[in-house]
């Protein structure tokens, strides 16, 4: 006959608690760890510093190498084109809204002739036309292999805070450089322009702005000063300044990169895998004014409505820049008339 030995009550309860913990507690703890880990690390732990930024992809050496590549490909001097000839340039044409234009110029880059000029060397605020220099430095970084169109760029807090015309970048997002440049060229996105500049400056926007000013000097832009990469103005109230003459020099150099005109002549495109539509900010392109394929509009209260225009008709290219209009309609009407006049010369 066997004897039955019961465990003390406290021991039985202890073992039951352990069994309950093993059956339910550990799986619940594991799931809790997964959930906590997701919130902490799925979009990046704020307490964990971002990876070290790349070395700056801008600077005098990068620009020099890009110029050498352009010269080799085209057989033309890339860094400093021949000066424009102002002799014989008209100063008053009697075109619609001409009196509303504060500064402007129209040139034939092939003959180096200035066809029309109005205060062409006066330095004025240039708003988003500043992005032409941002795009140029990006194209030079691409040409020298420092970056590629597929280079991933994580949105920074600083870029997220940039206002004005934008594509509402979020620090949780990462985009290829090519996608960001598309929003700069077509939508004139300030946040994208800042992010591109910050990245190419090795994480330091001041490095990029210095490169903008250095590049302006090598291009012969004598009346130009940059304070930011987008044209809104810096936190001290300084606004990018340039002249119509300087901006056609910049435009002439910039459009030697085929991808620039491809983007600037695009009427509509999309961003974020089709979730956001991009409408070209240049009405001369959007409304299909004959031959107009770029280049960059701008507006702030300080600059008024302005544009740098590129146009090709019958194999002949003209480049112009106008600033200071009260409305975009006034600016566009004058530019249409100015181009028609220019091609009649």
Q: Write the pLDDT tens digit of every residue in 250-305.
A: 999 999 999 999 999 999 999 999 999 999 999 999 999 999 999 999 999 999 99
Out of 131, 182, 187, 296, the active site residue is 131
Non-local (6+) Cβ contacts of 327 within 8 A are 305
Check residue 17 and give its pLDDT.
53
| Cα(231)–Cα(297) distance, integer angstroms | 11
**What pLDDT does residue 20 have?**
53
CATH, residue 65: 3.40.710.10
pLDDT range class, residue 80, cuts 50, 70, 90: confident
- Residue 96 within any structural domain of the chain: yes
* pLDDT at residue 49 greater than cutoff 80: no
User: What's the number of domains the chain is made of?
Assistant: 1
Task: Flag whether 7 is in a domain.
Answer: no
Per-residue model confidence (pLDDT) at position 52: 55
Indicate if the pLDDT at residue 93 is higher than 60. Answer: yes
Is 206 annotated as catalytic?
A: no
Q: What is the pLDDT of residue 54?
A: 79
Active site residue 265: no
Residue 187 lies in a domain: yes
> pLDDT tens for residues 221-245?
999 999 999 999 999 999 999 999 9
Per-residue model confidence (pLDDT) at position 325? 98
pLDDT of 36 reads 47
Residues 189-233 pLDDT 10s:
999 999 999 999 999 999 999 999 999 999 999 999 999 999 999
What's the average model confidence in pLDDT over 293-319?
Answer: 97
Tokens of 6: 């019961």
> What value does the mean pLDDT of the chain take?
89
Q: 20 burial class (0-12, 13-18, 19+ CB within 10 angstroms)?
A: exposed
Q: What is the pLDDT of residue 324?
A: 98
pLDDT at 312 (0 to 100): 98
pLDDT tier for residue 47 given thresholds of 50, 70 and 90: very low
Position 175 in a domain: yes
Residue 15 lies in a domain: no
For residue range 148-171, list pLDDT tens digits in order.
999 999 999 999 999 999 999 999
Structural domain for 312, as ranges? 60-343
Q: What is the rounded distance in angstroms from the CA atom of residue 263 to the CA atom of residue 300?
A: 23
CA 184 → CA 21, 246, 250, distances in Å? 57, 21, 16
Orientation angle between helical segments 131-143 and 244-254, nearest 10 degrees: 30
Of 169, 166, 168, 198, the residue nearest 184 (C-alpha): 166
pLDDT-derived band of residue 53, with 50, 70 and 90 as boundaries? low
User: pLDDT higher for 312 or 73?
Assistant: 312
Q: Which of the residues 63, 130, 188, 281 is marked catalytic?
A: 188
Least reliable range by pLDDT among 25-34, 69-78, 148-157:
25-34
Map tokens 């190419």 to a residue.
200
Q: Give the CA distances from residue 333 to residues 39, 91, 221, 284, 300, in Å, rounded to whole numbers and listed in that order.
A: 54, 18, 28, 9, 19
CB atoms under 10 Å from CB of 157, counted, come to: 8
SS (H, E, C) the chain: CCCCCCCCHHHHHHHHHHHHHHHHHHHHHHHHHHHHHHHHHCCCCCCCCCCCCCCCCCCHHHHHHHHHHHHHHHCCCCCCCCCCECCCCECCCCCCCHHHCCEEEEEECCCCEEEEEECCCCCEECHHHHHHHHHHHHHHHHHCCCCCCCCEEECCHHHHCCCCCCCCCCCCCEEEHHHHHHHHHHHCCHHHHHHHHHHHCCCCHHHHHHHHHHHHHHCCCCCCECCCCCCCCCCCCCCCEECHHHHHHHHHHHCCCHHHHHHHCCCEEEECCCCEEEECCCHHHHCCCCCEEEEEEEEECCCEEEEEEEEEECCEEEEEEEEEECCHHHHHHHHHHHHHHHHCC
Decide if 2 is inside a domain: no
Say which of 63, 128, 192, 242 is annotated catalytic. Answer: 128
In a domain, 38, yes or no: no
The percent of residues above 70 in pLDDT, for the chain, comes to 84
pLDDT confidence of 41, banded at 50, 70, 90?
A: very low
Which position has the token pair 């002439």?
252
pTM of this structure: 0.85
Q: Would you say residue 326 lies in a domain?
A: yes
Closest listed residue to residue 301, CA positions, set 197, 164, 189: 164
Active site residue 131: yes
Residue 84, pLDDT > 80, answer yes
């Amino acid at each position: 006959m066997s004897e039955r030995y019961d465990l003390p009550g406290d021991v039985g309860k202890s073992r039951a608690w352990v069994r309950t913990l093993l059956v339910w507690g550990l799986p619940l703890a594991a799931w809790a760890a997964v959930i906590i880990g997701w919130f902490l690390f799925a979009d990046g732990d704020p307490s964990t510093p971002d990876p070290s930024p790349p070395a700056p992809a801008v600077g005098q050496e990068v620009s020099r190498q890009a110029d050498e590549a352009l010269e080799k490909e085209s057989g033309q001097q890339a860094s400093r084109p021949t000066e424009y000839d102002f002799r014989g340039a008209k100063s008053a044409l009697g075109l619609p809204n001409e009196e509303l234009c504060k500064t402007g110029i129209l040139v034939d880059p092939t003959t180096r002739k200035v066809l029309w000029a109005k205060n062409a060397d006066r330095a004025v605020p240039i708003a988003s036309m500043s992005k032409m220099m941002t795009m140029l430095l990006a194209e030079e970084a691409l040409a020298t292999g420092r970056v590629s169109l597929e280079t991933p760029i994580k949105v920074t807090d600083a870029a997220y805070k940039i206002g004005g015309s934008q594509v509402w970048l979020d620090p949780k997002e990462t985009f290829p450089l090519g996608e960001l440049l598309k929003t700069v060229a077509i939508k004139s996105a300030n946040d994208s322009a800042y992010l591109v500049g910050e990245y190419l400056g090795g994480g330091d926007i001041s490095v990029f702005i210095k490169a903008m000013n250095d590049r302006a000097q090598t291009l012969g832009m004598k009346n130009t000063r940059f304070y930011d990469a987008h044209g809104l103005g810096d936190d001290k109230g300084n606004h990018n300044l340039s002249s119509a003459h300087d901006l056609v020099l910049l435009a002439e150099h910039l459009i030697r990169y085929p991808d620039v005109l491809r983007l600037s002549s695009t009427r509509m495109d999309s961003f974020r895998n089709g979730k956001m539509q991009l409408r070209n900010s240049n009405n001369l392109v959007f409304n299909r004014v004959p031959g107009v394929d770029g280049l960059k509009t701008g507006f702030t209260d300080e600059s008024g409505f302005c544009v740098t225009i590129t146009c090709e008709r019958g194999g002949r290219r003209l480049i112009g820049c106008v600033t200071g209009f009260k409305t975009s309609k006034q600016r566009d009407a004058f530019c249409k008339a100015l181009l028609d006049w220019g091609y009649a010369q």
